[in-house]
Structure 1
Amino acid sequence: MARAPRIVAFLGTQTLGDFIMYHLTAASVARSTGGRLMVVYRRDRPYKDLLTLMNPHVAHRLILPDDPARVAPLDWFFGGGDAPATDWAREGFDNPDLFLTPTMLDMGRCLTPVPTLRLPADLEPGLAAALVGRGLRPDRWFMALHMREPFYPHRPHGVTPRNVDPATYLPLVAHVIRNLGGQVVRLGDPSMTPLPDLPGLIDLSRDDDGFPLQTFALSRARFAVMTDSGPTQLASALGTPTATTNACGIGVWRHGDLLMTKAFTTADGRVLDTPHLIDMGVLTLHTRYPLEIDHRANEPERLAAVADHMLAATADGPGWRAPAAGDPPAEPQDTVPLPLPWRHIPQFADLTVWEPAGAPP
């Protein structure tokens, strides 16, 4: 019997969204080949260890220190005996069949169906109890919400069209709680703008070390309304029905996920529709912003309507949504083409597209 291929992936990024997508692409290659996966990453963000535990395809990990002067030790992976005496080296990962670099791990190269991340089962009871302790009722569904702002301490130069004004989302929050009968869990970090104290709104962004609890909340939300930021990729990776609003790129990939871009408006007042933006290459994950383009935010009433759509599009239930069961089935392949073929996300995901106000119908 042939041995399983040994695959090593260098997850060479700091950002949450890219780190998640690199994990998924690496997992898709391991799954498609029936291979065993080892990941290499730098411990420079607090969420990386947990996300790695959430990837069921990872057999080993090599954690590099948070030191920009240290790079991935490629000499350890050429089978020359330079690797330290570790379990992964004894299992042959010092001489892998395939070494995936960051440029090979772009989400457009993920082999479909896209894998799913899942929290370790032993963490879930404690996180569920913590969420109840914060005031979330388990007998009622809830929406997860994230609104990107420019204050994140790890991204000090965060002024970008991807940011939004949280005040424009308050009618959405009120609509979900008062009219739709749901609850709202706000995600983020303490640098974000505080929200009004509303019954049914649980703001987890005030926590300094809240990533595990926020991840659990995302995994159990009936749906998530997000903006153009890393937590959007986390929601989609968990299999949570997701709407990305005020988007400047496409960062969701589950069938039925909703995309509504900001209104990309030209100097003469034309609003470019989504197919036009895709053809221009604007909405890739390596977003290029055209010159002389204004980015107009989605209107509050449109954001509230997104919740109506997501509620109708998701399964009804007495309380929190059950987490995704695991990876969608995929047939093992005898070979994987190299370079991994690149596709734009709409080429492999059947997204629901809402045009921003003013775009051609």
Structure 2
Amino acid sequence: MTETATRAAPPAPSLPRRALPALLGYAGVRGLGLAVLALWSAARGTSAHTLLSARWDSLWYAGVAGAGYGHEIRLPNGDVHSDLAFFPLLPWLERLLHALAPLSYADAGLAVSAVASLAAAGGIFALAERLYGARAGVCAVLLWAVLPVGVVQSMAYSESLFTALAAWSLYAVVSGRWVTAGVLAALAGLTRPVGAAVVAAVWVAAIASFGRTGSADAPCAPAWRRVLGAALAPLGAAAYVLWVGHRTGDGPLGYLDVQAGWRNGFDGGYAFARFVGGMLTAFPSALAGIALIIGVVLLLWLYGAGVRRGQPLPLLVYSGVVLALALCASSYFGSKPRLLLPAFPLLLPPAEALARARPARAALLAGALAAGAAVYGAWWLNGSGPP
């Protein structure tokens, strides 16, 4: 036997190296979006920086970072908008970065979002690559980047931070790292109310794991690790909700009262259906209503495609809860596309299909979608923007 034949095979590239094409592609899409936003805003005499860092919810997060909780606005109709509606992890990170670097709280929020969006892209790649291969991983990241409201990924909002924590928690679940999954789920629960989706995914996967044996690819972890991961998962959300209830004096349901002050609630989609139905009664709003119906049908079809293709149970649970919470909320209908940004498992079926296409055709489609998303994002932020 020759020396060449006995020489050990070179080690496989590390996950960061394998993810590099996806991260570069993601950065390119986001860079294009920001460039178009800057040009559009300059032409309109507005500030792209202000639109990204100091409008809408960004102001509330920066306010919590700077002064802590306690600010509220009483509207003429009696509604009370309290900053207790906003979960604390993003403001905590803004405050930490503000203390470490010469950045305002708003700019610290932009920096956190930029890093978190890359971490989210890495998590989406890692998960899709493990399940469907590296090309599908790159395609999944690009599809997440070119979503029409993808510009939110670059704003001082919590969507990018939440998606990063959710993606890596789900990756930890499918790879059998239960304690890591539980810790990340707890942090996701400190980021947004939809952290419940990550908790549900960890719980269901942990319960299901006791009914199966492991495999060489995903060996079963010791029972105590699975139990510990499931126990850790809800601690973040539970801690914040209980703290809000204690602060308001309304007990465990105090957070629901805070959300009610914003006219947020869960009614099974009744209010949203009435909203869409109202749009269908007149022109041109009927066109937008029809587009919304098509969008909802597409989302449900993508979820069904994941079921048909045997997507892992934790991903189905996660994306199902995200869909339910977004579509069945009773207010802020214009924010639903933004609330659906974390539902990245819905993109895995089209990512698989795109991965099978010829590279030139896939690149052309991704480029066209990126250009469309950049223009739409600039128009949107300079108009109604994300409520």
For normalisation by structure 2, the TM-score amounts to: 0.23
Larger RCO (alpha carbons 8 Å, 6+ apart): 2
More helix by share: 2
More strand by share: 1
